[in-house]
Amino acid sequence: MKCLIIASGQGTRLASKADLKPLVRLLGLSLIARVILRTQRAGIDDFYVVTGYNSERLTDYLERFGRRRNIKITCLYNDEWHKENGISVLKAKNTIKENFILLMADHIFNEAIITKLKNAGIKNDEVMLAIDSHIEQNYFIDHDDVTKVYVKDSKALDIGKNIDTYNAFDTGIFLCSPAIFKALEESIKKGETTLSDGVRILAKKGTAKTCEVNDYYWIDVDDEVRLKQAEEHLTRTFLKKPSDGIISRYINRPLSIRITKLLLRTKIHPNCISCFCFITSTVAALFFFLGGYVNLLIGAMLAQFSSILDGCDGEIARLKFLETEFGGWLDAVLDRYADAVLLLGLTYHTYQAIGSVVWIFIGMVAIIGSLINSYTADKYDRTMRRRGGYYFRIGRDWRIFLIFLGGLFNQPALALSAVAALMNVENIRRVVVLAKA
């Protein structure tokens, strides 16, 4: 299926952020890039973008973006870009001959909306609007600017920004047949040039269907207020994981998110962060081997910093759509090596300070328990995710934090013992939980 994106306007309300609205940055990606990548997640791979204001710059950006991400993007120029958006949609009349998804370049959304529209389907003379009937509960809506819809029996009877009677909002996401082009031509002849005017023509014929998407987020990023809300929502939704332990949730994640927001301004790749975290952990272990409280403290602080930074690779990957199976696997492998060298260094430090071979044995128990803890995490997390929401979990965030506390208070033996005991008890607990699942 093809996707048509309207990106021809100037967007003066976001001019302070960028001269060209589709290129306004939102957490490391332009608005239009985020729209395209989110739609691609729903299985769309053929994009048509209607450009207008500053067309050459936007076209050049999209060509480079398409090559870099291996996405087919065709630009259509609207020389009447200063007019209403119905004119822009009509520019695709001679290019798109089948049903297509219609989007706005400044609307971000859950890709499940696209999937739901695709699965719903329409006839050759119909369009389908994705609507939100939670008109009193949507935090992101600018009620003075949003397009309203009056819906009855899953059909739009009226649509517009100034209609008096309405019971839903237009999300700016449509499944269209080529009938939309004929409707727009008809409305434009009457001097009515918005997309809503064309949809209203179809509504009068009873061929403007609706699809409720109340359970999914959508944000019209039309001004700086909505841009800030979008940033907060994406940060809250995509960066906090149900598998986060208490340490990750309340200590590491709040700090890693702040670092991530800074790193998003750069071109650094998530895999580079994974490698840097491993190197940092290795350096921390070397300080443990050197002995003495100062080296113990430095190593412990580096270990905790590495643990915090370790959240950034996944956060950047999710926000920039750079998630890959290799990236997740590489991060997991490097984390296991990092855990091993940190505990090996702490074991040597403790043995050197106390001189008893017992601490070598305890260190081995800690290392084995930690590796098994990581090994069991995958199945445990899959089982618990099916239950929904956050769940109790003791994992890597705990053991690194215990190492940090041990270094901070000069108690390496206590930290090593705590890791050995906690990891193995947690492993037994997981076996019991999974046995009952």
Domain boundaries, the chain: 2-222, 239-436
2-222 against 239-436: fold identical: no
pLDDT for position 23: 95
Condensed to tens digits (0 to 9), the pLDDT of residues 213-226 reads 998 999 999 989 99
Q: At the topology level of CATH, where does 2-222 sit? A: Spore Coat Polysaccharide Biosynthesis Protein SpsA; Chain A (3.90.550)
CATH of 239-436, one of 3.40.50.300, 3.30.1330.10, 3.30.1120.130, 1.20.120.1760: 1.20.120.1760
pLDDT for position 210: 96
Q: Which residue has the tokens 């995509």?
A: 238
> Is the pLDDT score of 139 beyond 80?
no
pTM: 0.89
Give me the phi and psi of 92, to 5 degrees please.
-95, 5
CA distances from 145 to 4, 161, 367 (A): 22, 7, 59
* Cβ pair 47, 2 in contact under 8 A: yes
Q: Is 157 helix (H, G, I), strand (E, B) or coil?
A: strand
Q: How far apart are CA 173 and CA 153, in angstroms?
A: 19
Give the Cα-Cα-Cα angle 216, 220, 224 (nearest 5 degrees). 125
pLDDT band at 244 (very low <50, low <70, confident <90, very high): confident
Q: Which two tokens stand for residue 170?
A: 């237009």
pLDDT for position 256: 95
Distance of alpha carbon 49 from its chain centroid, rounded? 23
DSSP state of 251: I
- Average of per-residue pLDDT across 91-95: 95
> Is the pLDDT score of 12 beyond 80?
yes
* Cβ pair 1, 118 in contact under 8 A: yes
Give me the phi and psi of 292, to 5 degrees please.
90, 155
pLDDT for position 436: 87
User: What is the chain's mean pLDDT, rounded?
Assistant: 94
Helix axes 358-385, 396-408, angle to 10 degrees: 140
Condensed to tens digits (0 to 9), the pLDDT of residues 175-215 reads 999 999 999 999 999 999 999 999 999 999 999 999 999 98
Q: State whether the Cα torsion 246-249-254-260 is positive or negative.
A: positive
Q: How far apart are CA 352 and CA 355, in angstroms?
A: 5
Say if residue 79 is exposed, middle or buried (CB neighbours under 10 Å; 0-12, 13-18, 19+): exposed
> Is the pLDDT score of 428 beyond 80?
yes
Q: How far apart are CA 201 and CA 259, in angstroms?
A: 50
- Average of per-residue pLDDT across 326-330: 95
pLDDT for position 385: 87
Can you name the residues that pair with 75 across neighbouring β-strands?
49
Distance of alpha carbon 304 from its chain centroid, rounded? 25
Q: Which residue has the tokens 């702040």?
A: 258
Q: How far apart are CA 105 and CA 305, in angstroms?
A: 38
Condensed to tens digits (0 to 9), the pLDDT of residues 338-395 reads 999 999 999 999 999 999 999 999 999 999 999 999 999 989 998 988 888 788 899 9
pLDDT band at 86 (very low <50, low <70, confident <90, very high): very high
pLDDT for position 291: 93
* Cβ pair 102, 161 in contact under 8 A: no
pLDDT for position 74: 97
Label residues 310-342 b or e (16+ Cβ within 10 Å = b). bbbbbbbbbbbbbeeeebeebbeebbbebbebb
pLDDT for position 131: 95
Nearest alpha-carbon partner for 350 in 336, 361, 339, 338: 361
Percent of the chain with pLDDT over 70: 99
> Is the pLDDT score of 243 beyond 90?
no
pLDDT for position 349: 97
Element of type H or E holding 69? helix 55-69
- Average of per-residue pLDDT across 15-22: 89
DSSP state of 249: I
Q: Is 128 helix (H, G, I), strand (E, B) or coil?
A: strand
Q: How far apart are CA 406 and CA 337, in angstroms?
A: 20
pLDDT for position 143: 77
- Average of per-residue pLDDT across 317-341: 95
CA distances from 194 to 47, 91, 159, 432 (A): 22, 13, 11, 61
Q: Which two tokens stand for residue 93?
A: 């009349």
> Is the pLDDT score of 15 beyond 90?
no
Condensed to tens digits (0 to 9), the pLDDT of residues 274-322 reads 999 999 999 999 999 999 999 999 999 999 999 999 999 999 999 999 9
